[in-house]
Amino acid sequence: MYTIKVQSHFSSAHNLREYKGKCEALHGHNWKVEVSVSSEGLNKIGMVIDFKELKKSLAEITSTLDHKNLNDLENFKKTNPTSENIAKYIYDCIITKHPELDIGSVTVWETDTSSATYGEQ
């Protein structure tokens, strides 16, 4: 099995609804995102997918989150914008853009020491 990973980042604000504590108030993070993609085989030039292509797809997704209040976005009006839900949202977007790939996981860091990972394997 071959696995490649790419990273991106975005900055945004959010607040956690029904959370009892400081995170209930509006606050921001400089988020880091990592996407892991796997394949049993390689394409004709020896790649799972071109890093450039996967980075471009991830950048398109993170640009829709960048410098936004996540709670105002359609996908997070009813779903709490937790790191876990952001990871699943990005996973779903990547799989929509690349249905031919085995998307291993998406990890979202809200700080250098706190992350959440979503994957369906």
The catalytic site residues sit at 23, 67, 110
Instruction: Establish how many alpha carbons lie within 13 A of residue 17's alpha carbon, considering only the half-sphere containing its beta carbon.
Output: 10
Tokens of 110: 């809200």
Distance CA 81, CA 73 (A): 10
Q: How many CB atoms lie within 10 A of CB 118?
A: 19
Reading phi first (left if > 0) and then psi (alpha if -120 to 50, else beta), residue 20 is in: beta
